[in-house]
Structure 1
Amino acid sequence: MRNFRLHILLIVLASGFFSFSQSLRKADNLYNNRAYVKAAEIYSQLPKSAEVYEKLGDCYYYNSQFDKAYKAYQKVYNDYSLDKKISKTFYFKFFDVLRGTKKYDLADEISTKYLKDSLDTKAQLEKLRKVVPFDYQLYNITSDISGSNFGATIYGDKIIFASTHNADNPDYKWNKKPYLDIYESQFSEKDSTKLDSIKALPSSINTKKQHESNAVFTKDGKTVYFSRNLDKRVEIDSNKVAVVSIFKSELINNEWAEAKPVSFASEFYSTMHPALNSDESKLYFSSDMPSSIGSFDIYYVDITEDGSFGEPVNLGASVNTDRREQFPFIVKDSTLYFASNGRFGFGGLDLYASSKKDGEFLDALNLGETINSSYDDFAFVVTDSINKGFMSSNRDGNDNIYSFNRIPTNRTYYIEGLVTDKVTGNLLPNTTVTLFDEDGNVVAEMVVGDDAKYKLETRPNRSYSIEGFQPKYIPEIQFFNTNDSGNIEFNIELEIESYKDAEEIVTDDDKGNTFIQLENIYFDFAKWDIKPQAAKTLDVLVALLKKYPRMEIQLGAHTDSRAGYEFNMDLSEKRARATLEYLVENGINRARLTSKGYGESQPLVPCGDNCTEIEFSINRRCEFLILK
């Protein structure tokens, strides 16, 4: 009897295990095919493990249900974080969900500890508030239109956007919503913040069981580019993926021709979110092609006169990260707007801008908290008025299109730092700090106080140089660029080196005077012309003055006491002037030089009339005093 009961128990256990395995396989199969809604229903009923919790969280994460995703991911983090199998990918998703649920302190901890990216959201947010160029006023224009609505653009007097509005379309397994189509609409005459007369574009654009979205039209209205997923799924990294490609259609006899994929599209990677620059010579887009830095990067292709395309060009690390960059848009001044989840932000996709300078895009700037939320914010476009446009967001639980007005903010950028001695590290009060623009014009100048600190106002997206100048020091010049990446205070410590530390022939006396020590210059008795041996010595001085073009010196000539006082004073002045003229003849600006004759008034050896020949020669000398 006992054996019979044991047999029954084993059958029950085996049956339960078989049922669990079958359910897990079914859930995994749905998960791998992106049927996240149905997969979540099964995962939520299964016995929990790190894998089940993570995949359950993923199902919610990929449908932007961040509160539910947080609960699942939190279980993985709290109960399984010591498991070596927990991947960096998990920590990024958890980090993203924490931002999406505004748990910024824990998000910073995850980023710093596991993603190796030190983050202080509160400090960065405070800095961002000072630097964002615009505040945004948003108006939801699709709140009364069923389904998901996003990706607005202007086509003549119509607004074009993507929507799951058509309830007759079959459901998409990912989110159990109808497939996306592209629609046209107009603002309502009764309510200028709402859309009406909504109409789907023809079947040459929209299909039954494929997604169409993100249309962009040429200025003449005769060509449209848009995104469409291919009906054939391909296996990428052991998963079946529906690749998205950019399609092109032309208006012929007032009808849109059958759309065809562009030449740079592929069935093995996605190209999507087309955008044209102002002269329509380039088509920007997002892609996960093999050359991408992250999961999706922003590229462009040149459009030739015959309508063909060049090779895709990656915009590089100033725009793209190791995460996701999508939905590019280019305005007339070549500023690029795009969405990313790979930079400092508020959660999900945030909107960023990158200005262009000398043909290169600068580091991107988050557009700020008046337009970005803790959810996905994307598909930014401006209309003919530079301060009006549209963006899309799922901040209210569903994708909606928002129109915006933007208001310029007052921004002030600074360059600041300390001035110190390069060798000793000591502060250098009374140093003159000068800011120059890229053409060498003085923009601002100040003399630092006892704290040796400077702070000068700059402007974004400019090239500057800054100089620290202190008498008897080598001027230090640093070059820098300001940008719109969120930095408003650029810190440069100016370390300047004294001439005596830089050059062996420069020394200080016990009175604090700084001299250039050269071999003595000898003159014939009662003469002041420069002899060949003296010229060799002065050539060393010429080289030093050319090396340091800001150095200014005094040429001091001294005699012995063997003639009368007035005669010696006149002779020393002539010798000092002769030395100065030699330097001028050899390319030294006269304004950097002064000369002075001291006669017999400052002997090094005060021996009066009882000097030896050696002592007389010591007193008979030229000195080179550094003034600046």
Structure 2
Amino acid sequence: MRYINIFFLIIAVLVGACSGSKKLTQAKKSFSIGEYTRAAELYKKAYAKEKNRYYKGEYAWYMGESYRITNKPLKAASAYSKAVRYEYPEREAQFYMAESYRKAGKLDKAIPEYEEYLEKVPADIRAQRGLASCMMLQKEPQPNRYIIAKEKDLNSKYSDYSPTYAGTEFDYVVFASMRVEGKSKRKNRITGQGTSSIFYSKKNAKGAWEDPAPFEEPINNPKFDDGSPFVSHDGKELFFTRCKFDNEKPTGAEVVSCKRQGGQWGEPINASLALDSTLLDSTVIAHPALSADGETLYFVSDMEGGYGGKDIWKAEKAGEGQWGEPINMGSAINTPGNEMFPFIRKDGILYFSSDTHIGFGGLDLFKAELNEEGNWDVTNMGEPINSIGDDFGIVFQGKDEVGLFSSSRGSTKGIDNIYSFVLPKLNFYLTGLITNNNEEIVTGSYLRLIGSDGTTMKVKSPSDGKFKVKLKPNTDYVFLVAAEGYLNKKVKFSTSGEVNDKSFEYNIVMEKPLQKVN
């Protein structure tokens, strides 16, 4: 799991009692306020000099936590293994070691660690599903039909993530970036990258993305980390996650929004989604996504009443700029781990990322649909959408299976990039030949095709008796073949459930009616 590098879920993490040595004061402080990149460096130096076994295990644990949170699984696994070796009394060290090995694709190392941990903590659902994920990956599941590509014009050498379309032409994209521009811009001690800001890009006349540019104030503010944007479907309101930073204490995150009037964006204001306003400084409220009608706001939070980690919640509109009481999306969606980056399509299908539902690596993308009983059916989106890295922040171009998402695949430094995806449309055809019992072409024959989608089509066969008709996916068909002097033929078939291009071939043999005997 990852909090900071997937953007601004800055949280207070348990900080144990380290050695009283003054030289560790800064390491403890850096970790406690979320400066994980700096904390990892300081604990690494302390570990190298320490002789006491207990303290070596303790420093290794905090190194592992720092690397895990900043999405460096191999370094995290190595650090956790040292904490386990030195018998540091934090039993989750072995769990996170297994998780980190899985995220790094080291299944042979992850599986025994999961198994040993589950012998001690058999009820841990996170470990149960982590082990199940490894078992699934060992069977080498086959990729599906999605085609993905890295959007090089939108990406930099730093993290670029959480794209969202602005408008219905899908030629304007807004996203978050940790890119460092110019030598004067300081790197963030939390991630080792730049401070996250909101960027935009438009497509030019050739259909290519123009160089991304940052929004000016008041949207981007150098005092905050701003990320995970979402533009309302009418293009008039921008929601995003804002994280404050405090040199003395850990902070939470909030969802803010601003409206566009007269070509200008207004001042961002807090969406007020927390049940208790006194908890705003420490509670995570993040990753906003608005329904198509603008009446429901989905978001992520670690507020009380959830299932553990980060959960997906929703709130109904209660007036201009006001939202009702947050409602948890339930146990079918949320787990004891982290569920984040929701996106809701116009048809009500929910997409989100999770590190605990059975998947391929870190965060995987999932699709949730309401069944006839009103319950959520959750399915993994499979490869190549998902990978052993973190895959999250998906958006679609309306009803089409085309869009953008974010992924850390291929990066050992936890760098995220924006990818495009498309699911090619399936091609189905009805083909065949119409002959009689003597294998002669039946001239003047015709075919009438009726589909469950309301299709009605009459097709005359050419002189060679062959026919070819284009079909629609997920449709039940019946077709009738008729010709003067012959008995009619009727055939039923369906394209439903087909996942590859297919030609339905029927060679029809027409028969003459029996002659009456006097």
Pair 1:92 & 2:109 matched: no
> Any idea what SS the aligned residue of 1:354 has?
strand
1:326, 1:409 → 2: CA distance?
Answer: 31
- Contact in 2 for aligned 1:134/1:407 (Cα 8 Å): yes
| C-alpha deviation, 1:255, in angstroms | 1.1
Whole-Å separation in 1 of the counterparts to 2:255 and 2:74: 33
Q: Which amino acid aligns with 2:61?
A: E
How far apart, CA to CA, are the structure 1 residues paired with 2:166 and 2:207? Answer: 20
Q: Does 1:183 align with 2:199?
A: yes
2:259 and 2:397 map into 1 onto residues whose CA distance is 23
What residue is the counterpart of 1:247 in the other structure?
A: 256
Indicate if the aligned counterparts of 1:286 and 1:327 stay in contact, CA closer than 8 A.
yes
- Determine the C-alpha separation between the residues in 1 that align with 2:215 and 2:164: 14
**Structure 1 pair 111/134, CA: closer, same or farther in 2 (3 Å)?**
farther
1:104 pairs with 2:104: no
Query: Cα deviations across residues 521-547 of structure 1 (Å, max 9, x unaligned)?
Result: xxxxxxxxxxxxxxxxxxxxxxxxxxx
* Aligned partner (choices 227, 230, 234) of residue 241 of structure 2: 227
Shift of 1:196: 2.1
Q: Distance in 2 between matches of 1:338 and 1:155?
A: 20
For the 8 Å contact 1:301–1:312, the answer to whether it is kept is: yes
* CA distance in 2: counterparts of 1:260 and 1:218, whole angstroms: 16
Percent identical residues: 30
TM-score by length of 1: 0.56
User: 8 Å contact 1:213–1:226 — kept in the other structure?
Assistant: yes
Deviations 1:414-456 (A, max 9, x none): xxxxxxxxxxxxxxxxxxxxxxxxxxxxxxxxxxxxxxxxxxx
How far off is 1:144 after superposition?
Answer: 5.2
Matches within 5 A, 1:522-561: none
The DSSP-based 3-state class of the residue aligned with 1:161 is strand
Alignment partner of 1:241: what SS? coil
Compared CA separation, residues 29 and 385, structure 1 to 2 (3 A): same
For 1:54, the equivalent position in structure 2 comes to: 61
Q: 1:361 & 1:382 partners in 2: Cα distance?
A: 23
Please give the root-mean-square deviation of Cα atoms over the aligned residues, in Å: 3.0
> Which amino acid in structure 2 is aligned with residue 110 of structure 1?
E
SS in 2 for 1:49: helix
SS at match of 1:75: helix
AA partner of residue 24 (structure 1) = L
- CA distance in 1 between counterparts of 2:230 and 2:154 reads 23
Aligned residue for 1:337, secondary structure, equals strand
How big is the shift at 1:172?
A: 2.0
Q: Which whole-Å CA distance do the structure 2 matches of 1:358 and 1:301 have between them?
A: 23
Cα distance in 2, alignment partners of residues 91 and 409 from structure 1: 45
Structure 2: give runs of 5+ residues left out of the alignment: 1-18, 123-127, 275-279, 428-473, 475-518
Change in Cα spacing, 1:122 to 1:268, as seen in structure 2 (3 Å) is: closer
Q: Of Structure 1 and Structure 2, which has the larger fraction of its residues in helix?
A: 1
Indicate the residue corresponding to 1:43 in structure 2: 43
Residue of 113, 137, 142 corresponding to 2:148: 137
Corresponding position of 1:392: 406
Give per-residue Cα distances to partners, 1:278-298, cap 9 Å, x unaligned: 222211011111112111000
Q: In the alignment, is the contact (CA less than 8 A) between 1:315 and 1:361 conserved in 2?
A: no
Q: Tell me the TM-score normalized by structure 2.
A: 0.68
Which AA in structure 2 matches 1:405? V
Return the match for 1:326 from 329, 332, 340.
Answer: 340
Determine the C-alpha separation between the residues in 2 that align with 1:21 and 1:218: 52
Structure 1 CA distance, aligned partners of 2:318 and 2:145? 35
Q: What's the CA shift for 1:166?
A: 4.6
2:151 and 2:286 map into 1 onto residues whose CA distance is: 25
Q: Hey, which bits of structure 1, 4+ residues long, moved more than 6 A? A: none
Shift of 1:253: 2.3
In structure 1, give the amino acid aligned to 2:272: S
Equivalent of 1:149 in 146, 157, 160: 160
Q: Paired residues, what number?
A: 383
Deviation at 1:135, TM superposition (A): 3.2
Per-residue CA distance 1:575-610 (angstroms, 9 max, x = gap) = xxxxxxxxxxxxxxxxxxxxxxxxxxxxxxxxxxxx
Q: Distance in 1 between matches of 2:173 and 2:42?
A: 40
Q: Which has the higher contact order (CA 8 A, sep 6+)?
A: 2
Q: In 2, distance between residues paired with 1:26 and 1:122?
A: 38
Task: Name the SS for the 1:50 alignment partner.
Answer: helix
1:380 aligns with 2:394: yes
Query: Secondary structure of 1:178's partner?
Result: coil
CA contact (8 A) 1:354 1:361 kept: no
**Where do 1:217-616 residues align within 5 Å?**
217-231=231-245, 240-265=249-274, 266-304=280-318, 306-358=320-372, 360-397=374-411, 398-407=415-424
Q: Deviations over 1:454-502 (max 9, x none)?
A: xxxxxx9xxxxxxxxxxxxxxxxxxxxxxxxxxxxxxxxxxxxxxxxxx
Q: Which residue in 1 is equivalent to 2:172?
A: 158
CA distance in 2, matches of 1:103, 1:268: 35
Deviation at 1:50, TM superposition (A): 1.1
Residues 152, 391 of structure 1: 8 Å contact kept: yes
Q: Distance in 2 between matches of 1:407 and 1:281?
A: 32
CA distance in 2, matches of 1:408, 1:346: 25
Larger Rg: 1
Deviation at 1:137, TM superposition (A): 2.4
